[in-house]
Amino acid sequence: MEKLKVKQIMTATKASAKKSTKISQRGDLAPDRIAAILKALDEAYPNAVCALHHRSPWELLVATILSAQCTDVRVNMVTPELFRRFPTPEAMTKATQPELEDLIRTTGFFRNKSKSIIGAAKAITGQFGGKVPRTLAELITVPGAARKTANVVLGVAYGLAEGVVVDTHVFRIAHRLGLAKSDTAPGVELELMKVIPPLRWIDFSHQIIHHGRQVCVARKPKCDQCNLEPLCHSKDKTWWS
């Protein structure tokens, strides 16, 4: 009799837990939860900005191209001399690939990056009058400026929110917070654009990127330091309250 009662209690507990999980999953995209996440990000990162040093849309475009598979710190070490030598798109069109490769070698994938940067300089000079385009449709035609890069440039340089920047940090944290399920960056961006208010797209990306670097790291996230922890249901949390 006692064993039967214990079994019934365990069954009821499992059923309750399963039901709770389903409710939690359904509520991940609830407006009040989204608002709570945005509020927590504002509290933790009220002044989050792009970490890439730049003085113009052109410099930001080049720095963003260089940041692929490279830290912003490393990029910021390379760009001062690069921009001293080639400060404008027109000047960059005169660079040879070997000399450009030497300047950016430490950022990794320097051959492909140098081709993209020279190609971008030629496109911007020849097709856009030396000015970095201000629309997503135009900017993604520039070599090296895929959607993520274009969103960075438009948001940071021009204050235009045509999408959400989805880098590795945003991709990871969007999944951990249950804001997206897609296994591709474009898919995650579309999901985020549906639940994050457009006026928050630019700041949201900056804040999540900072959060991913400082707290919600890829391995062993620092959940004990995270003010989003009460809102997080991720299976790889390092501790549970």
CATH of residue 112: 1.10.340.30
Task: Identify the residue whose tokens are 């507990």.
Answer: 13
Q: Which of 114, 141, 158 is a domain's end point?
A: 158
Residue 134 lies in a domain: yes
Residues serving a catalytic function are 148, 167
Mean predicted confidence (pLDDT) in 185-208: 97
Tokens of 20: 């709770």
Neighbours of 42 (CB within 10 A): 14
Backbone φ and ψ of 86, nearest 5°: -135, 80
Any alpha helices (H) in 67-140, and if so which ranges? 72-85, 89-92, 97-104, 110-127, 136-139
Long-range pairs for 191-200 at CB < 8 Å and ≥24 separation? 192/164, 192/166, 193/163, 193/164, 195/29, 195/34, 196/34, 196/38, 196/164, 197/38, 198/161, 199/161, 200/38
Which pLDDT band, with edges at 50, 70 and 90, does 230 fall under?
very high
Same domain, 136 and 214: no
pTM: 0.85
Same domain, 62 and 139: yes
Same domain, 100 and 185: no
Contact 141, 123 (CB under 8 A): yes
What is the pLDDT, as a whole number, of residue 18? 41
Same domain, 62 and 116: yes
Residue 29 lies in a domain: no
pLDDT in tens, 166-191: 999 999 999 999 999 999 999 999 99
DSSP line for 16-85: HHHHHHHHHHHGGG-HHHHHHHHHHHHHH-TT----S--SSHHHHHHHHHHTTTS-HHHHHHHHHHHHHH
Range of the domain at 199: 163-231
- Is pLDDT above 70 for 121? yes
Same domain, 188 and 134: no
d(CA 58, CA 42): 29
Mean predicted confidence (pLDDT) in 110-133: 98
Same domain, 125 and 78: yes
Residue 143: C-alpha distances to residues 120, 138, 157 (Å):
5, 11, 18
Into how many domains does the chain fold?
Answer: 2
